[in-house]
Amino acid sequence: MRLSSALPGAAPAHPGGSYPRPPGDDARPLDDEARSAGEDARSPGDDATIGLQILPWVGFDEADPIVAEVLAHIEKQPGIRYEVGTMETVLTGPLDELLELVGQCLRLAHRAGAGEVLAITKILYQPTQKGCRLP
């Protein structure tokens, strides 16, 4: 359960509450219905999962547009599965591509107006598995 849905009157994790999964686009997170049916959000090339939190060093009112720009960039990445949560975005895919994406997100946040950017990451690497499972 997401924290935003557990607290009365809490705002959703991001605009719209959750991103819809476009028809035929398998590079998006599974919805709750697919998860309960036992489907998995992994593919054979996925060997890593990264929990990413981007914190632009700006005033409170300036952070939201920067983070929205970073999320929009993540959404455009082919083959990278992601799930936006209240505290972090979880990315699943090939390790090298995910690490490159983290760097792109840092540079993008800087170009969008953050003088400094902090990225908090948690990395699960499973090279012997056929893929990592999104929580």
Q: Kindly tell me if the per-residue pLDDT of 49 is higher than 90.
A: yes
Confidence category of residue 36, pLDDT binned at 50, 70, 90? low
pLDDT for the residue numbered 45? 77
**Which sequence spans correspond to the domains of the chain?**
46-135
pLDDT for the residue numbered 131? 52
Nearest of 76, 75, 50, 54 to residue 65 by alpha carbon: 54
Pairing of strands 48-56, 89-93: antiparallel
What is the DSSP-derived secondary structure letter of residue 109?
H
Mean pLDDT computed over 120-128: 93
Of 69 and 6, more confident: 69
Nearest of 135, 130, 134 to residue 47 by alpha carbon: 130
Q: Which CATH class is domain 46-135?
A: alpha beta
Mean pLDDT computed over 40-48: 70
Mean pLDDT computed over 61-82: 96
pLDDT for the residue numbered 129? 64
Among 25-39, 73-87, 93-107, 121-135, where is mean pLDDT lowest?
A: 25-39
